[in-house]
A and B are shown apart, each in its own frame.
Chain A
Amino acid sequence: MNYLIRGKVALFLKVIVVSLVSAVLLMLTQSAFAQREYVIAGFLALTVLALALTYLTKISIPLKFFIPGILLLAAFVIGPILYTVTMSGFNYKTGNIISKEEAIVQIKVRGIEASPEGVAFDIKLGKSGAEPAILVSDITNLKYFVSTASTRTEVNAGDVTLNEIGVAVQAPNFAALSDSELSGADKSYSIVKFKYDGDYFIALEGLETGVVSRQILEFDATDSFINLVDGSKYQDNGRGNYALANDKAAILEPGWRAPIWFENYSKIVTDPRVREPLVRVFIWTVVFALLTVLTTFALGLLLALALNKPIRGRRIYRSILVLPYAMPSVMSILIWGGMFNTEFGAINTLFGSDIAWFSDPNFARVAVILVNLWLGFPYFYLISSGSLQAIPSELQEAAAIDGANPRQIFRKITLPLLLQILSPLLIASFAFNFNNFNLIYLLTGGGPRSELDGEIAGATDILISYTYKIAFGTGTQDLGLASAISLIIFMLVASISLYSLRKSKVLETFA
């Protein structure tokens, strides 16, 4: 009986939780759909369906356990991976960010020309009936009119209310926008052509000024823009821009994100402006990752060997030695950044030097390796000392009996065994440092780089920090190219990791 009630209560709670979650997700689905984010809306709808099917039916018990995890993975890992693949096939960069429809609207808005006389009026935004309207004040001639997209109505000077600088703020059949409405009005009002005279209309410049203008770029039915003044024709160039047929460089801004298939990939090989910095960065990335593994492993192993005997104070040594590993690395890197400061930094003070650590490519590289050594050696100290204990001592004793000296024992027996045990971890460490973004970004920012040639890759930039600069840097942000490079990095890192996994035989258990 008791169990039954519990069962019913549990069922009741379950239904409530599932319905609440579904309700929230359905609301999100609807608003996503309203914003025309169809892919996201579709994913959300599928999520609701999956949740309902899993928890309200008896379709599968394992599903009940892993559906939340799988949905999160799908939304924030697999989704972004697939989206990265998609973006890598697009011309998707500064100037080509928006959709084609949005681009057409913006080109229309920008494709206007002020009247030769440069006439501008003070205006007030408002509504005439339900339609967006402006109340225009021609202060010099003391004339006032209300203008909408289709009509222009003169208003007698006696019927308007003026503010202190003589701009009309109220008129019959005109309701001014309130301050709160005004803040969101810019977008909808800036695309309206308020009627003026003939070809000329009033275009908004800010929220209080209207400029008499005419359209010079007109969109026509053949998916092209016509320049009404000189008759030239801009056509979709298939790469996310309207361009002149005979002059490919003459494009209209803005463009849109358009599929260019494998061009982002082929650019990496064929375009020297992309290839050369990338090759340089790639070489440094490999050198950096190798050096970090070598230095941290060497120092960690040295320590492990030195402390591989119950000497006095070993526990004190040990607890001090893991401190760099226990510290949050973001903090440690920032602290080291201060220590390498040229003028005031502790390192130059300590050694009485005045090295500009982060301005010289080679010193910056040394600094990066050194900081990484500090961050990383405790890890290898810990795992090396663990592994040293796992090596059966009989082997070493037997070698000693056969007359080998300690150095020979280490080189011929201990080290090869250690390397065998640790090789998957060494490879994993290589893969980790291959993408050690935080270290580079926080310590040197990838620099130094030569400012003159506009090159964004710096001397200590590794692939991942360089990619980040391509996507989010201060100049042109090229999300398409960045995505393509990201995927190449993934291939590299995944093959390294798979190789290491295969080596450690974990795959065999379910291969």
Chain B
Amino acid sequence: MKNWLRQDLWRHVIGIAICLFSLFPLYLVVISSFSSTGSLQLSSFIPTEISFKNYNVLFNDPTIPYLRWVKNSLIIAGSVAVLSVMIGTASAFAFSRLKFKGRKTGIQVLLLVQMFPAILAISAVYVIMERVYKFAPAIGLGTQPGLLLVYLGGAMGVNIWLLKGFVDSIPAELLASPVLAVVALLSFIGTFNEFILARLFLVDMENRTVAVGLQQFIGGQYSQNWGPFAAGSILASIPIVIIFLSLQKYIVSGLTAGSVKG
């Protein structure tokens, strides 16, 4: 009994220390969210009370349309996930399975394009969508459908590339395998997490995604709005964390497969 402890002590010390590091911020947000003061300043690191005041503010304060934000995020990220996988799989299938002229060039262009970080073209996207707004106000700058289109286009490069890798490696009859669900969920997480385009596009309070909404809500004024922010960020994170943990197996194998296959 003593023996395993002595032998593996250093492993446990490292494991526990880094677990504490991992948990520290998460623990803090959780106790802040249940504190009644709602302030950034903690009276103690050990919680003395459980109050739902911050959650109450989040759901009932008309100046913080938190539920709208969550709904917006779910709709946008959900649509991007489903549509980008549908469209992406079709393209990936063509690149992977069908023979046609210019296939090799196409793949090389795709490879280059999917390397271009979307954020670098952000001023161009902004100006183009500003112009689109002039003749089609429903899909231009400042609208959710416009943002959706930009996300779809932006996700296309990486998704086709990723899906092509999958399609290459599996037999045709398995195309409807969970792999597609995994790519869709990854795309969902990525879109949910996207901040900067959403920030540029969605100016109206009601239109914002939860990431933009909460960021603007604390907007540097950490001390004032910390409690409701903590509650909001926890609630928004839970579904993502659950999706991620349930996909862990696929994500990890994808990561390591990447190291061998690129």
Contact = CB atoms under 8 A, between A and B. Distances in A.
Interface string B31-69: 000000001111001000000000000000000000000
Interface string B71-110: 0000000000000000110110111001010011001100
A78 B113 contact: yes
Nearest to A303: B18
B236 A69 contact: no
A335 B125 contact: no
B81 to A, nearest CB: 15
Interface string B20-39: 01111110110000000001
B11 A306 contact: yes
Given A321-B22, A472-B200, A510-B108, A330 B149 contact: no
Contacts of B10: 306
B262 A504 contact: yes
A422 B259 contact: yes
Given A32-B135, A65-B90, A319-B245, A437 B22 contact: no
A80 B226 contact: no
A272 interface: no
Nearest to B104: A510
Given A62-B98, A311-B8, A76 B149 contact: yes
A72 B159 CA distance: 12
A494 B115 CA distance: 6
A87 B26 contact: no
Contacts of B214: 331, 334
Contacts of B123: 84, 87, 471-472, 479, 482-483, 486
Contacts of A468: 119, 122, 196
B260 interface: yes
A344 B19 contact: no
Interface residues of A, number: 106
Interface stretch (B169-177, B179-187, B215-223): B215-223
Interface stretch (A1-9, A100-108, A224-232, A383-391): A383-391
A343 interface: yes
B86 to A, nearest CB: 9
Residue among B40, B117, B154, B233 with the most chain A CB within 10 A?
Answer: B117
Interface string A304-319: 0011010111100101
Given A330-B195, A504-B261, A435 B100 contact: no
Contacts of B19: 317, 320-321
Given A77-B113, A334-B233, A441-B196, A317 B15 contact: yes
Given A77-B157, A80-B125, A331-B214, A62 B262 contact: no
Nearest to B151: A76
B145 interface: no
Contact of B245 (A313, A322, A345): A322
B124 A69 contact: no
B203 interface: no
A494 B244 contact: no
A414 interface: no
A497 B230 CA distance: 37
Given A77-B116, A306-B14, A483-B123, A345 B91 contact: no
B242 to A, nearest CB: 9
Contacts of B40: 338, 341, 344-345
Contacts of A299: 18
B93 A65 contact: yes
Contacts of B95: 66
A40 interface: yes
A494 B116 contact: yes
A26 interface: no
B26 A66 contact: no
A332 B25 contact: yes
Contact of A327 (B88, B119, B241): B241
Contacts of A498: 115
Contact of B124 (A87, A494, A505): A87
20 contacts: A28-B135, A31-B136, A35-B131, A60-B100, A72-B152, A81-B113, A302-B14, A307-B15, A311-B12, A317-B15, A331-B236, A332-B25, A338-B218, A383-B255, A422-B259, A424-B258, A425-B255, A437-B119, A487-B120, A506-B261
Given A311-B12, A326-B245, 18 more contacts: A61-B98, A73-B160, A75-B153, A76-B152, A77-B116, A77-B118, A81-B113, A311-B15, A323-B23, A327-B240, A328-B236, A331-B237, A337-B218, A338-B226, A344-B39, A386-B255, A471-B122, A489-B117
Closest 8 CB pairs of A and B: A76-B153, A69-B91, A506-B262, A504-B262, A65-B94, A80-B121, A66-B91, A326-B244
Interface of A: 28, 31-32, 34-35, 37, 40, 60-63, 65-66, 68-70, 72-73, 75-81, 83-84, 87, 299, 302-303, 306-307, 309, 311-314, 317, 319-332, 334-339, 341, 343-346, 349-350, 374, 377-379, 382-383, 386-387, 390, 421-422, 424-425, 435, 437-438, 441-442, 464, 467-468, 471-472, 479, 482-483, 486-487, 489-490, 493-494, 497-498, 500-501, 504-506, 510
